[in-house]
Amino acid sequence: MTREKTDFWVGLFVLLGIIALVFLALRAGNLSSFSFAPTYQVQAYFDNLGGLKVRAPVKSSGVVVGRVAGIGFDNQRYQAVVTLDLEKQYEFPSDSSASILTSGLLGEQYIGITPGGDDKMLAQDSTIQYTQSAVVLEELISKFLYSSADKEGTAKGGQPAPAPATP
């Protein structure tokens, strides 16, 4: 086979490899969810992060508006500090609240932002004041158990214990 022909087939082979990699990155992987839009950073303090990870999505009304840029521990306040990378095109009032939510029953954790009513907007390096920690399943179960035990204690005197109210 001549040199040109070999080169052509090798070029085609390498091209196929590149197509395969692009396919894996874009179609199967999460490259398409990488955003290169300009961002601004905002801090939020949480009592408990649960299983929140770096690069977890930040959503508002279910739309991804940013990503978790960093997670640290503030030794002055004894709270976890989360740095959020919010896209510049989305602005939120400065009294917006951030809560750690779970998508689905066992899904990944993300930060949900509920907009407030202030005229001022969150700026670079500002802090979100109102936060809600992650719900830890064990805490929820122990709360439920204690409250149903309390109810059982007060409902003495022959009456059957009322069914525990579901929250």
Partner 1 sequence: MSPTKAIAALGGWIIDSIHRLGALARLLVTIAAGSGAAVRRPGLVSQQVHFIGNYSLVIIAVSGLFVGFVLGLQGYYTLNRYGSEEALGLLVALSLTRELGPVVTALLFAGRAGTSLTAEIGLMKAGEQLAAMEVMAVDPVRRVLVPRFWGGAIAMPILAAVFSMVGIIGGWIVGVLLIGIDAGVFWSQMQGGVDIFKDVANGVIKSFIFGLAVTLIALFEGWNAKPTPEGVARATTRTVVSGALVVLGLDFLLTALMFSN
Q: Give the dihedral of Cα atoms 63, 112, 137, 167; nearest 10 deg.
A: -100
Nearest CB to partner 1, comparing residues 94 and 101? 101
Residues 132/112, Cβ–Cβ less than 8 Å: no
Nearest CB to partner 1, comparing residues 29 and 93? 29
CB of 32 to partner 1, least distance (A): 7
CB of 66 to partner 1, least distance (A): 17
- Footprint on this chain of partner 1 (rule: CB under 8 A): 3, 6-7, 9-10, 12-14, 16-17, 19-21, 23-25, 27-33, 108
Nearest CB to partner 1, comparing residues 15 and 155? 15
What letter would DSSP give residue 67?
Answer: E
Of the CA atoms within 13 Å of residue 137, those in its CB half-sphere come to 4
Give phi and psi for 121, each to the nearest 5. Answer: -105, 155
CB of 23 to partner 1, least distance (A): 5
d(C-alpha 80, C-alpha 133), whole Å:
10
CB of 24 to partner 1, least distance (A): 5
Nearest CB to partner 1, comparing residues 29 and 162? 29
- What are the b/e assignments for 90-116, b being 16+ CB within 10 Å? bebebebbbbbbbeeeeeebbbbbeeb
Q: How many residues does the chain have?
A: 167
d(C-alpha 20, C-alpha 93), whole Å:
44
CB of 76 to partner 1, least distance (A): 28
Nearest CB to partner 1, comparing residues 59 and 151? 59
